[in-house]
Structure 1
Amino acid sequence: MKVTLNRVNDAFHFKLKNERGHVVDVDSRAEFGGSDLGASPMELVLMGVAGCSAIDMISILKKQRQEIKAFNAEVEGERVKVGEATPFKEINVVFYLEGDINPEKAKKAAQLSFEKYCSVAKTVEPTATIKYKVVLNNEEL
């Protein structure tokens, strides 16, 4: 796996491209000297957790023939100062599912994602606690 980074402006706006040609804009917020023309690297980490776990869960639920009408997630990260860096201390994920889905299967899919399959979660797990909950058809499980 490989990505390339190219600087776009004289501040912190970059275009990153993967080997398949997909491009992502990365920048810093204005208060940190950037132009706010893309997601920050730490936001990309949260996006990675969301995307990775969503792929896992949908894959698991489809194999179980569950009917997913909608799938959304919200991910929030709490950071802590460690020297000059501020890594994530805790990441909270809420999955919102709609459809004809067995509640136990939805909970188990989330559990399997974070405990077994999600490589992004496993990457941040040594430094950040990940907590999650599942809301199915507007009811928290």
Structure 2
Amino acid sequence: MRVTLERKNDNYLLEAKGASGIPVMIDNKSSETVQGSSPMELILMGVGGCSAIDIIHILKKQRQTISSYKVEVEGERFELDDSKPFKAMKVVVYLEGEITPEKAQRAADLSFQKYCSVSKTFDRVVAITYTISLNGKEL
């Protein structure tokens, strides 16, 4: 796997591309006019996106009908020398549709404990917790 990043202005704005060629804009959140996501936001998006793909795939294979899928990922950081890495992430998955609660929970468990390469990358250094809200009720 390989990505490229190219500077697009005189400050911090970068255009990143992976194999698809679809650009993702990255910027420093302290810029006057922010034109992209920060690298730390992209990490949270990666955890949310990876688990979403897994969970949706698993539920579709189980013939569950998803009418809405939303995920929120919140990262907690700490001071380490001159950096602020994540020490914890909290993921909340909001599912709506004709989905059995046990299948929703099992799909999330499989994603976070077995399949999601992004969250597994951080397994030993970042505490990642997750909850499922199915049709407005927390499981």
Check if 1:130 corresponds to 2:91.
no
Deviation at 1:83, TM superposition (A): 1.3
Look up the match of 2:15.
Answer: 15
- The runs of 4+ residues in structure 1 deviating greater than 3 Å are none
Check if 1:6 corresponds to 2:6.
yes
Q: Structure 1 pair 34/6, CA: closer, same or farther in 2 (3 Å)?
A: farther
Check if 1:96 corresponds to 2:94.
yes
Q: Percent identity between the aligned chains?
A: 53
Look up the match of 2:39.
Answer: 41
Look up the match of 1:60.
Answer: 58
- CA distance in 2 between partners of 1:83 and 1:129 (Å): 20
Query: Unaligned stretches of 5+ in structure 1?
Result: none
- Secondary structure, aligned partner of 1:54: helix
Deviation at 1:11, TM superposition (A): 1.0
TM-score norm. by structure 1 comes to 0.95
Look up the match of 2:113.
Answer: 115
Deviation at 1:46, TM superposition (A): 0.3
- CA distance in 1 between partners of 2:50 and 2:34 (Å): 25
TM-score norm. by structure 2 comes to 0.97
Deviation at 1:19, TM superposition (A): 2.0
